[in-house]
Structure 1
């Protein structure tokens, strides 16, 4: 057990699976009081694209704890399709699942983040926020993650007078239950990922969680508006 987040109140969305679950686990290990949110399987069940439900949940959390020191927005969903096959409904669904699902919890948490005086927002961008990925039918996802990156820079500016820092992490390929299924269905995909990685291994949720822990802690008190690639060097060449 560590103490890098001792005494910090951290809300983690998407906490039941993948990167969100890894971050929640490491945050607890480092001493934080963690409130996990997901559709199911977390401390609180909530549809974070429902404005009224999200507002009510964060009011409950804020009133119980008096403040929120860390908000990590890991919840997301997207539809991947080439533009010729991407319906307008799926385009809008993806932007809801990439942008609204960050905006609504952040707005609902804002008064409680201000109450912290030293709060940290950690959002998730992607290599797709900065450039296209060959062979990836990710048009809506690219737009969503680019929006998250831009939104986070703005949040950094708006939050600075209140002691709120906001940063993004851009993960590389991370092994989760969902991505393992993709690898199993396409044996050549793992080779493609490793060929791009400078470090010849696949990432795990904990690799992202340790970066998030640093951003959530006082160690990163001078860091805001940044985007940090955690991707085995895949976007560095």
Structure 2
């Protein structure tokens, strides 16, 4: 049985003076990153397509005595919407140092049952959204210098999990992995770093239906060296490192936060 972990929620100063945009901040990994960044002193601009969940994240922050600036709802697959968000962000906060592309949507089905529309939706949500936000923020991140893009690949970018119908998701996250290496090369001359985090099975609202499939948790545990499922905070701590000056010599890298799942 998985033990309930207590994560350190103490405030720190690792991101003081930095302005961070976190997409998908209404739930899951995006929410975990937004809250953790605020605890570490960043000015956090949180966005999501779901305004209600975004406001819930803001309220949770307020209960901890933290401030998160909400900007939403924003459709990250609408280029005009994304560009409008950036204009407002720069107008209000003057600068941008960190981008966390946590927003994503995926349809999980076996190839026989996966429609072309669901394939396209997954790739657009996992690839196009990252491209559009990176493109819009790129000039501001270049101008800031010593800035950081954090994208999310997945253990599924490397390995297929027995019992998981994740064809479109595997393709999307593999694309994010490759895209981020290219971004690292293009951003290098400007001190703009780009890295990925590859989570294993993290317990979120989005993964709940997948985890409910018969036998899937057993398959996950068979791959995991650490015999528990991940939590958004597990990923958020890695994101804090990549967002901070502690990782100033790290770019084009992928960080597996997956209990060892992709190593065997």
Shorter-chain TM-score bucket reads: over 0.9
**Which is further off, 128-137 or 43-52?**
128-137
**Residues 11 and 36 of structure 1 are in contact (CA less than 8 Å); yes or no, is this contact kept in structure 2?**
yes
Question: Is structure 2 residue 143 aligned with structure 1 residue 133?
Answer: no
CA–CA separation in structure 2 for the residues paired with 1:177 and 1:166: 27
Any idea what SS the aligned residue of 1:235 has?
Answer: helix
2:254 corresponds to which residue?
A: 227
**Which is further off, 132-141 or 164-173?**
132-141
* Equivalent in 153, 160, 164 of residue 181 of structure 2: 153
**Residues 19 and 97 of structure 2 are in contact (CA less than 8 Å); yes or no, is this contact kept in structure 1?**
yes
**Which is further off, 55-64 or 21-30?**
55-64
1:170 corresponds to which residue?
A: 198
Question: Is structure 2 residue 123 aligned with structure 1 residue 103?
Answer: no
**Residues 66 and 112 of structure 1 are in contact (CA less than 8 Å); yes or no, is this contact kept in structure 2?**
no
1:66 corresponds to which residue?
A: 94
Superposed CA deviations along residues 146-174 of structure 1, whole A, max 9, x for unmatched, are 11011100000111111110000000111
Superposed CA deviations along residues 126-157 of structure 1, whole A, max 9, x for unmatched, are 12212322222211111111110111000001
**Number of residue pairs matched?**
236
* Equivalent in 94, 99, 102 of residue 122 of structure 2: 94
CA–CA separation in structure 2 for the residues paired with 1:95 and 1:20: 19
Superposed CA deviations along residues 3-62 of structure 1, whole A, max 9, x for unmatched, are 000011000000010000000000000000000000123312100000111011112112
1:216 corresponds to which residue?
A: 243
**Residues 123 and 169 of structure 1 are in contact (CA less than 8 Å); yes or no, is this contact kept in structure 2?**
yes
* Equivalent in 143, 149, 152 of residue 115 of structure 1: 143
What displacement does 1:181 show? 4.8
**RMSD across aligned C-alpha pairs, in angstroms?**
1.3
Q: Return the TM-score normalized by structure 1.
A: 0.95
CA–CA separation in structure 1 for the residues paired with 2:109 and 2:205: 21
CA–CA separation in structure 1 for the residues paired with 2:213 and 2:108: 16
**Which is further off, 204-213 or 37-46?**
37-46
Structure 2 gaps of 5+ residues are 1-10, 55-69
CA–CA separation in structure 2 for the residues paired with 1:101 and 1:5: 25
Q: Return the TM-score normalized by structure 2.
A: 0.86
